[in-house]
Amino acid sequence: MGALMMCTTAVLYSQEVIWQKDIKSNTQDFLSQVTTTIDQQYLITGSSIQGDKLQAGGSKQNNGYDFHLVKLNQQGEEVWEKFFVGNNHDFLSATVATQEGGNLLAGTSYSGKGLDKKDDSKGGSDLWLIRINEFGDELWQKTLGSSSDEEARSVIQTTDLGFFVAGNVQNSAKGYGSKDILIIKLDKNGKESSQLILGGKGLDEVEKMIPTRDGGALLGIYSRSNAGGSKKTENFGEGDYWIIKLSKEGKVEWEKNFGGKGDDHLRTLALTSTGFLIGGESRSERSGNKTVGIEEGTDLWLISLNEKGEEIWQKSYNFKNRDVLMGMSVLHNSDDKTSKGFLLGGYTQAEGRIEADDEKFWMLYLDQNGNEQWRKHVQGQSNKKEERLSDIKLNSDGSIILAGTSAEELGKEKWKIIKLGDKQIDQLIVKQDIKIYPNPVSDYTYVEIGFDFKDADIILYDMSGRQLQSLKTKNKVTKINTQNLIQGAYLVTVKTDMNKTASAKLIKK
């Protein structure tokens, strides 16, 4: 992932590295996610064993893995770095940016009470949740689990500002198979409101969960179970995509199974204007309810569903050998109501072949009907290194963040964060001169400036034209405190050094 060379059909559509940040390590670090915060900064999260530098200060330290967080600003500079430490191994698996400006962290903890961990272990491994503000300070934490082994996989914030946490539980007394899905709903202060276990008689693992527009959640599960237990749908093959829609109360509304005779492994989900996009890898020929074949090794298999879970289309794509899908972003049209297309990112593994094709990152852009528009490789300078893409995120300004690990030698994984500009994507992104969210607003809002500038003034007026507050900013996104405003309408105006101005209405509820 060092020097990036683009292998692309049209030279005209080049990509440029805007910045690259390496986070060095002397151990086998796990990078789980990059989360774009509401003010368009980046939180890189994973698990690391801390180096000696921290031991010298006699600070909190154990010999195991800890939650590791690094926040980068829009320019790729480190804003802060934090560790959350238990007295055993703790793995940070999933993070969500909250509408209030901080994050909720969800991980798998093997630690009892002590150091940063405030609750006793419930037995085996548990879920450890930590709510932080934008500066990385803890607001609250929770340990959830039973005497069985639980592992965290995904966390989302719902429209009521509460949370769903999804994980897996092994051989649970309340479960159905060797591994089941555990869903916990919490309010915004971390108080548990419901718990649900889902699964067939075999092994089921939740891979991804996304919030739905109605305040519920969509679960994407890799299922190796036939009907039985809580599962109503039959599997078609060795492993299938199992999709479950939960209501905002956390009850199952519908479930669907997709698969061929072979192994089909769901990886990720996205919300579209017509419903949902389901993505993963397939080793199945045309069989079961899979209507597309495979070309070679493991192919990407995408299914578009409407909001009831009925199939709109399915498509297959191939990069040769074993293709691993790591991320999916939806590009919207200017009305924000219709999806323009989908950007997919992942890497290819050569499955025991020559290493030249191995571990290359790729990007694939599809229209809203799944038709391929273009594909590109992002290639490291030496393909002998272990290079894995962990996450890909498309930013609202058309830039792309790639987060991965790269190792000179095994067991010493550096985190590599790259921000790319892509002319092709830039042309697809609909930019608004000024965007305000949330709007209507209660305590604070964010003002996003869509055009380029060096310095800008953001001015807030009431409807009679009286100036109430003014801020200077260099960032594309700026947080504004609106706590003291009374209910009603206001005008937000942006003036930049380029003599450009833009205004938008703000409603205080």
d(CA 31, CA 48): 9
Read off the pLDDT band of 271 (50, 70, 90).
very high
d(CA 361, CA 38): 27
* Region 316-333 average pLDDT: 87
What average pLDDT is seen over the chain? 87
Does 401 have pLDDT greater than 60? yes
Does 369 have pLDDT greater than 50? yes
Query: Two tokens at 290?
Result: 């899979």
Please give the pLDDT value at position 6. 40
CATH code of the domain occupying 17-428: 2.130.10.10
Q: Partners of 275 in the beta sheet?
A: 306
DSSP string of 408-436, one letter each residue: SSTT-EEEEEEEEEEHHHHHH----SEEE
* Region 277-283 average pLDDT: 96
Read off the pLDDT band of 365 (50, 70, 90).
very high
Question: Nearest Cα to 230, choosing from 283, 176, 191, 280?
Answer: 176
CATH code of the domain occupying 434-508: 2.60.40.1220
* Region 368-382 average pLDDT: 78
Q: Partners of 253 in the beta sheet?
A: none
d(CA 108, CA 93): 7
Query: Two tokens at 216?
Result: 């519920």
d(CA 277, CA 479): 32
Of 335 and 253, which is predicted with more confidence? 253
**Same topology between domain 17-428 and domain 434-508:** no
Q: Of 12-21, 168-177, 439-448, 468-477, which has the strongest mean pLDDT?
A: 168-177
| Phi and psi based region of residue 308 (left: phi greater than 0; alpha: psi -120 to 50; beta: remaining) | alpha
Q: Are 471 and 457 in contact (CB under 8 A)?
A: yes
Which of 24-38, 199-213, 236-250, 382-396 has the least mean pLDDT?
382-396
What percent of the chain stands above pLDDT 90?
59
Please state whether beta strands 434-437 and 413-422 pair in parallel, antiparallel, or not at all (unpaired): unpaired
Instruction: Reply yes or no: is the peptide bond before residue 438 cis, omega within 30 of 0.
Output: yes
Domain residue extents for the chain? 17-428, 434-508
pTM score: 0.86
Q: Are 387 and 14 in contact (CB under 8 A)?
A: no
